[in-house]
């Protein structure tokens, strides 16, 4: 069995982007972001910031790019991973990543099935924007508190290995 990779996650800044017109308008409470921010802080990441955008693929893609330009190495998009009207987060993530990591997305859905049969309805995407130290991990996740925490339960133990591989000198 391989040893866990030692990586200082405090060097990794994260941005949580909530993709929800109702949360943006203030008509729905955001229960996922505070729980995710706490989970990322417990995992040892550097700064964790968040923002909310309405359900517009263009607005989401612009916000992802802005987060990357501001130095985030991990961008977590909450919401819009289903297949209803306005659920375009997976497409926006695919527009900014160079390499998808489908095994992690499959693992997240599989983990979620232990909590709800609805997990299989998520079209969440995981990928990186580059294959080197400039690479940013971008993930689209369900916007529900449970779905978002399922995503992080799978993802946080992998973060060291992901960033180690991106930052590895070649």
Q: Note the pLDDT tens digit of each residue in 53-76.
A: 999 999 999 999 999 999 999 999
Q: Which domains, and CATH codes, for the chain?
A: 9-167 (3.40.980.10)
The structure tokens listed for 8 are: 């200082």
Answering whether pTM is above 0.75, one says yes
CA proximity to 163, closest of 74, 39, 90 = 74
Furthest-apart CA atoms within the chain: distance in Å = 49
Neighbours of 144 (CB within 10 A): 18
Spell out, as residue ranges, where the chain has pLDDT lower than 50. Answer: 1
Task: Identify the pLDDT of residue 3.
Answer: 63
């Amino acid at each position: 069995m391989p040893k866990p990779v030692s990586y200082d996650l405090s060097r990794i800044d994260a941005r949580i982007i909530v993709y929800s017109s109702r949360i943006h308008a203030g008509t729905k409470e955001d229960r996922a972001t505070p729980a995710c921010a706490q989970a990322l802080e417990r995992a040892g990441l550097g700064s964790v910031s968040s923002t909310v955008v309405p359900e517009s693929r263009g607005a989401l893609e612009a916000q992802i790019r802005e987060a990357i330009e501001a130095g985030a190495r991990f961008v977590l998009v909450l919401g819009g991973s289903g297949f209803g009207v306005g659920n375009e987060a997976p497409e926006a993530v695919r527009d900014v990543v160079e390499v998808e990591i489908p095994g992690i997305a499959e693992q997240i859905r599989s983990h979620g099935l232990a909590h709800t049969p609805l997990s299989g309805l998520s079209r969440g995407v995981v990928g990186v924007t580059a294959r080197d130290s400039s690479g940013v991990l971008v993930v689209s996740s369900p916007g529900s508190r449970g779905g978002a925490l399922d995503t992080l339960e799978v993802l946080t133990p992998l973060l060291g290995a992901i960033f180690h591989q991106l930052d590895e000198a070649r």
